[in-house]
Amino acid sequence: MGLLVEQASKSFPGVRALSNASLELADGEIHALMGENGAGKSTLIKIITGVHRPDGGRLLLHGEEVAFHAPREAINRGIAAVHQERNLIPRFSVAENLMLERLPTSRGLVDFAAVEREARKMLELVGLDIDPRIEVRRLSVAQMQMVEIAKALGHRARVLLLDEPTASISDNEAESLFRLVRQLKAQGTAILFVSHKLEEVLSLCDRVTVLRDGETTLAGASMKGMARGDLIEAMIGRKDRAVVARHRSVAANPVVFEARGVATAFGHRDIDLTLRKGEILGLYGLVGAGRTELARALIGKDKVTSGEVRIKDQPVRIRSVEQAIRQHRLGYVSEDRKFEGVILAHPIRSNIASTVWNRIAAALGFITAKREDRVAMPLATQLEIRTPNLDQLAGNLSGGNQQKVSLAKWLAAEVDVLIIDEPTVGIDIKTKGYFHELITGLADGGLSIILVSSDMPEMVALADRILVMHDKRIVAGFDNSHDYDTVSRSIMAAIHAQSGESVEKPGQAMADATA
């Protein structure tokens, strides 16, 4: 057995990222690790690579229990990871990057001829035909990835973790990556392959482990006979959570926000959506469908290249987020609350009041804590932000309470339309329920909401209407019956119908593998 993770748990302040997750990675296999955002994949990877230490559970390497305190220890034990962020020195040559920690010297000086020689051998291992003397920053992303794999192999890695290796490379490049991965497998390397792409996982991997909400929902299941739907179901879950499904009638309300044939610089095309007053419009899609990017374009963070956006029946051109808030009362709650939602180093009161500083300022622009409190206090009470006082820094709050602050900011701004992106990612199930009640309550109060989510039960519970996004397009739209089984089936059917078009290629890859 290559690597065994037994019952690993890990909590961060306010959220349990992993609870009793297990992974069994055998030598000479390609093992897929899947799960939606916030499922705990990256936490698990960080435990394996020595970045985090688990709160509970064991890590066994070749049958021997290990505890890593730093990435170096994992590397020394033959565990190498190729992360999404490139870990190479951009201005150094490929050769030097490959040999960085063991530069050969002669008479005290680095022997670059030897560096190059060694590097050529390492590049040959991965079949990468480039001049080792060129600087890394001149390489393509795929080439960098290959260099990193070569480097990992140079460390004599027996366990190789590939974190979404195909996220930013072309299909052709992915094919040569797969060839290499299969070759390594044949040599006995244990490979953990993290990916969101169902097709490539189905064709490439031998077994799969799926995480959801920090728990293992599929543990090393064989890929034989596995269907796309099985994987999706394991990732997004069944109706096993309490939901507050409630039928609301908004069809007669006036339209407050409308997009007609919108295209964006990111690649969205023909986006049509209509949002009525008090409606919760769900925007569902798997990771990579382009939901967040669309939200960002709609609020003026990115560019809408063509099409029309209408607010209260008036065509508008939103050029900046500031304009969206001030002129059009349109707000956006980011999925990334730590970096975009709240200012961690600022107290709760300033965070909440930050959207209305202009309005609450006294003469000469003076803002006092008292003035901020007048806005922040009622909202903190309404959202039940659990804190001794509003002086508390946002950074000291739990994830759930940070999210409440992030939401309160927009309520303070008295927006009419709010785009809420993945409101409950990384938030435990109990607090999730609270947020669901809260969002429904806000809509009942007249707020119009676009809910962006990849959490199926959440979508079924909250949305009045659901739009399904796939590959930067809206591929289906229907009223939500709040019946989990029928709705989830319709959503999946819409996504399958689209991704079915591209089944050809992975099938071919399969033929390659068996040939």
Partner 1 sequence: MNELFSRVIRVQWSGLLAVCILAVLALTIVSPNFLSEYNAFVFLRSLCVSLLVAYSQMVMLGVGQMNLSIGALGGLVAVIVGGLMDAWGVPTLPAIAIALAAGGVAGLVNGWLTVRTGINGFIVTLATGSAFAGINLGITKAIPFYNLPADFVAFGNGRLGPIPNLLIVPLIVSVLLVVFFSRTVTGRHMLAVGGNSHAAELSGLSPNKAIIEAHALSGLLAAAAGILAVAQLGSAQPSIGADWLIISFAAPIIGGASLAGGSISITGTLLAVVLIGLIQNAMVLLQVDPYWVTFLLGALILAAVWLNRYRAVRVGED
Q: Residue 383: what are its φ and ψ, rounded to 5°?
A: -90, 0
Pick the closest to residue 10 from 51, 43, 50, 59 (CA basis).
43
Choose between 139 and 201: whose C-beta lies nearer to partner 1: 139
Distance in Å, CB of 95 to partner 1, minimum:
12
| HEC secondary structure over 72-107 | HHHHHCCEEEECCCCCCCCCCEHHHHHHHHHCCEEC
Instruction: Using CB atoms within 10 Å of the CB of residue 129, give its burial: 0 to 12 exposed, 13 to 18 middle, 19+ buried.
Output: exposed
**Residue from 67, 89, 141, 513 in contact with partner 1 (CB under 8 A):** 89
**Using CB under 8 A, which residues numbered 269 to 298 contact partner 1?**
none
> Is 87 among the residues that bind partner 1 (CB under 8 A)?
yes
Segment contacting partner 1 by CB under 8 A, of 95-103, 124-132, 172-180, 230-238: 95-103
CB of 350 to partner 1, least distance (A): 24
Radius of gyration of the chain (CA): 25
* 3-class SS shares of the chain: helix, strand, coil, % to 5: 40, 25, 35
* CB of 100 vs partner 1, minimal distance in Å: 5
Q: Cα separation of 104 and 110, whole Å?
A: 6
The Cα 159–Cα 78 span in angstroms is: 6
**Residue 65 pairs with which residues in a beta bridge?**
60
Among 18, 47, 48, 75, binds partner 1 (CB under 8 A): 75
Burial environment of residue 14 by CB neighbours within 10 A (0 to 12, 13 to 18, 19 or more) = middle
Minimum CB–partner distance for residue 146 and partner 1 (Å):
16
For partner 1, the closer CB: 103 or 125: 103
Residue 177 CB, nearest distance to partner 1 (Å)? 20
Task: Give burial (CB, 10 Å; 0-12/13-18/19+) of 98.
Answer: buried
Dist. CA 424–CA 471, nearest whole Å:
23
Question: Under rule CB under 8 A, which residues in 132-161 are in contact with partner 1?
Answer: 137, 151
Q: Which is nearer to partner 1, 53 or 72 (CB)?
A: 72
Cβ proximity to partner 1: between 101 and 340 the closer is 101
**Under the criterion CB under 8 A, does residue 90 sit at the interface with partner 1?**
yes
> Stretches 109-117, 212-220, 287-295, 410-418: which one binds partner 1 (CB under 8 A)?
109-117
For partner 1, the binding residue among 88, 150, 202, 462 (CB under 8 A) is 88
- Residue 160 vs 383, nearer CB to partner 1: 160
- Contact stretch for partner 1 (CB under 8 A) within 36-44, 108-116, 288-296, 305-313: 108-116
Does position 100 bind partner 1 by CB under 8 A? yes
Stretch that binds partner 1, among 26-34, 82-90, 244-252, 433-441 (CB under 8 A): 82-90
CB 451 within 8 A of CB 443: no
Pick between residue 103 and residue 221 the one whose CB is nearest to partner 1: 103
DSSP type of residue 138: G
Q: How many residues bind partner 1 (CB under 8 A)?
A: 23
Residue 86 near partner 1 by CB under 8 A: yes
Task: CB nearer to partner 1: give 92 or 434.
Answer: 92
Nearer to partner 1, 87 or 320 (CB): 87
Name which of 91 and 133 has its Cβ closer to partner 1.
Answer: 91
The tokens describing 322, both together, are 């500031």
User: Which of 1, 110, 227, 265 is the binder for partner 1 (CB under 8 A)?
Assistant: 110
Residue 145's alpha-carbon distances to 92, 99, 370, in angstroms, are 15, 16, 54
Name the burial class of residue 485, with classes exposed (0-12), middle (13-18) and buried (19+) by CB atoms within 10 angstroms of its CB: exposed
Instruction: Choose which of 1, 53, 56, 105 interacts with partner 1 (CB under 8 A).
Output: 105
User: Considering the complex, what minimum distance in angstroms separates the CB of residue 132 from partner 1?
Assistant: 15
> Tokens in use for 367?
């803002």
Q: What are phi and psi of 333, to 5 degrees?
A: -95, 115
Q: Which amino acid is at 340?
A: E
Per-residue mark of binding to partner 1, 207-236 (x: CB under 8 A):
------------------------------
Q: How far apart are CA 135 and CA 120, in angstroms?
A: 14
User: At closest approach, how far in Å is the CB of 88 from partner 1?
Assistant: 6
Q: Which stretch binds partner 1 (CB under 8 A): 104-112, 342-350, 390-398, 399-407?
A: 104-112
Contact 332/342 with Cβ under 8 angstroms? no
| C-alpha separations of 210 from 145, 201, 488 in Å | 24, 12, 19
The token pair that represents 27 in the structure block: 């030598």
Contacting positions for partner 1 (CB under 8 A): 71-72, 75-76, 86-92, 96-97, 100-101, 103, 105, 108-110, 112, 137, 151
